[in-house]
Amino acid sequence: MISGLLRKVCFTIQYVANKIIVSILSSLAVVAAVTTVTSSQPGAEGSTWVDSTIAVMTLDQKVGQLIMPSFRSTYLSDDSERFDELASLVREQHVGGFLLFGGRQAAPDVLLNAGYSRSTLGDPLSGASLANRLQSVSSIPLLNAADFETGVGFRIRGATTFPRAMAFGAAGDERLAFEAGRITAVEGLALGVHVNFGPVADVNNNPRNPVINTRSFGENSDVVSRFVAAYVKGLNHGGMIATVKHFPGHGDTNIDSHLGLPLINHPRSRLEQVELPPFRAGIEAGAGAVMTSHIELPGLEPELGRPATVSHRIVTGLLREELGFDRLVFTDSMRMRAVTGRLTTVEAAVQAVSAGHDVVVHAPDDVAVFEGLRQAVSQGILSESEIDKSVRRILEAKMKLGLHRSRAVNLDDVPGIVGGRAHLAVAAEVSRRAMTLIKDDRMDVPLRLSGPASILYLSVLDYPSGWGNGAPSRSFLPELERRWPNVTAVEVSDQTSPAELDLIGASAERYDAVIAAVFVRAASFSGRMDLNDGVVRLLRRVARQTELQEQPFVTVFFGNPYVATALPELPAALLTYDLYDVAEVSAVRAIAGEVPITGRLPIALGDRFPSGHGLSRSAIR
């Protein structure tokens, strides 16, 4: 059933893509012109609403506006303990909005076989319904946000999922970034989400960065700036607030802030040249928000161990005063260990607001944050006038979105807006253009194999656990079998025994060709971004054997592109910068010669493959 669906998707993409993309690329003038949220422009009515609302708000209501709890977008009954908790946060703590996540399922925290995935995608109608119900119990409209870095499909099943940002950099066309932002805004607003925590404005110039990686548009500050600006304009054109993150730059670190406190030990002069320009570009393009990062920057904040999250010098001094940014400033998730390992929940929240933030996002205990902020105001640690400034910014954002007039979404409209072939065609076009052939020593790409040819397919995983949103090769393998039915597929990972790896290596010579798909994630909380040594040895062995046997051998890299530098022996290497269905289908089409290969590296892979490198191939089928 899945295979049949994938065939239909592939044919649909090919049929629809050309007309859609031609329309997109003709809108360059629009891309350049759009710089602000266009869903609702402020007027006398809106300004009056902001002033009159602030005038009657209690201190509790003001403090609550600064807090953003989260909810899961899976079905939730009104008659449930969890709904009561969420409704209580609205009624009792007066929270200003919610952060929407996907789903989550229970899994045992056990040793030896702790491979269960907890994360699942959410349901669009369930998420929109819950957003509506929470809006209905709030006296002030809620401003909801989500992390839709790769589109609404990043969190919600059935919505459009775009490739990772680095794929846009490889495709090289900012107009596609604009269109991805616009589509994300249209789909997100249909679900009652008003703020996208994207785009990522970090410049990924550290190959060992375990948390940014392909989330960045590339390693060149000017290129990242252009794509950030285009994506911001697209979000604005669709009516959604864009959030540039992670200020003032999370790219040059080798520590995951989910696990520890990263250090970027560069002087202010270097930060001005590399890290800060994309944020300036995003702000100039009309970003309505900035999200800060849990990182230590001695060049900006001399106090040892003080993250940007709680640095008045960085948030107020640099962002507010020097860059002149007077729109919303969000913290990153306050549950990350870079913060929780140093400060209590209340200390972190109070210091973040004191530093200049408007909204404390995803705290470990939202009720404790409410009480702590309220007490800090009463004790004079936080001034009520500064709280009022944040509240005004929050209410003005809600007013510009038109939430003071209408806050509920129409659930009947969701199926006609979220997902769909036209949006999928844009995602597929980005993925197709991103395919980057960095080497092809034996001229094996595209593969010129007859239909009856036998192929050994190696699905090579970093580790087999945690694939909650889709098993690797679920699209690659059926797409491969559509073109060459005689495929033998084997999955290997760090759990594959040496004896099994030896057996696979010995059998490779029996086939007409070998194709390897390498899946390596740079995932939050993982801290891992490499292949197992045994698997690396297998790939090197296959490279040697296929050279002697004159067999085609093509390797496709999904996820972390820097892994390719650890395998210089591979004769042909194709980069996708992404994971899951769209990238897998694009890769098969590329190696089968059905589409041209035109992608260019947005990063350098050692000295041999500089930024901008890429081999071109024409379609042959």
Q: Which positions ≥6 away from 427 have C-beta within 8 Å?
A: 151, 160, 161, 162, 163, 180, 582
Burial 451-477 (b: 16+ CB within 10 A, else e): eebebbbbbbbbbbbbbbbeebbbbbb
Q: How does DSSP classify residue 214?
A: G
Please name the residue that has the structure tokens 């909810």: 71
Tokens for 295, please give them: 């990182």
Active site residue 613: no
DSSP code, position 540: H
- Contact (CB, 8 A) for 457 and 515: yes
Q: Which residue, 468, 466, 427, is CA-closest to 122?
A: 468
Residue with tokens 């197992």, as numbered in its chain = 532
555 has which bridge partners? 516, 573
Q: In 318-459, where does DSSP find H-type helix?
A: 337-340, 345-355, 366-378, 384-400, 414-417, 421-434
Do 560 and 531 meet the contact criterion of CB atoms below 8 Å apart?
no
Distance CA 221, CA 274 (A): 5
* Residues 6 or more apart in contact with residue 75 via CB below 8 angstroms: 123, 126
CB 158 within 8 A of CB 415: no
Q: How far apart are the first and last CA of the chain?
A: 27
Which residue type sits at 28? Answer: L
Half-sphere exposure of 351 (CA within 13 A, CB side): 19
State residue 37 phi and psi, 5-degree precision.
-60, 130
User: What SS3 state is found at 88?
Assistant: helix
User: Helix or strand or coil: residue 242?
Assistant: strand
The secondary structure element, H or E, covering residue 244 is strand 241-247
Output the furthest CA–CA distance in the chain (Å, rounded). 81
Three-state secondary structure call for residue 571: coil
Alpha carbon distance 115, 386 (integer Å): 46
| DSSP code of residue 113 | -
Number of DSSP helices (H) and strands (E) in the chain, helices first: 22, 17
Instruction: Give the whole-angstrom CA distance, residue 369 versus residue 245.
Output: 23
Q: How far apart are CA 578 and CA 558, in angstroms?
A: 5
- Is there a catalytic annotation at residue 250? no
Q: How many CB atoms lie within 10 A of CB 504?
A: 17
Question: Are residues 129 and 402 in contact, defined by beta-carbon separation less than 8 angstroms?
Answer: no
Q: Which of 94, 194, 258, 357 is catalytic?
A: 258
Catalytic site residue from 123, 332, 462, 581: 332
Burial class (CB in 10 A: 0-12, 13-18, 19+), 9: middle
- Looking at 66-114, list the stretches that DSSP marks H as alpha helix, in order from N- to C-terminal side: 81-91
Total residues found in the chain within this entry: 621
CA dist 618 and 601 (Å) reads 18
Return the active site residues.
258, 332
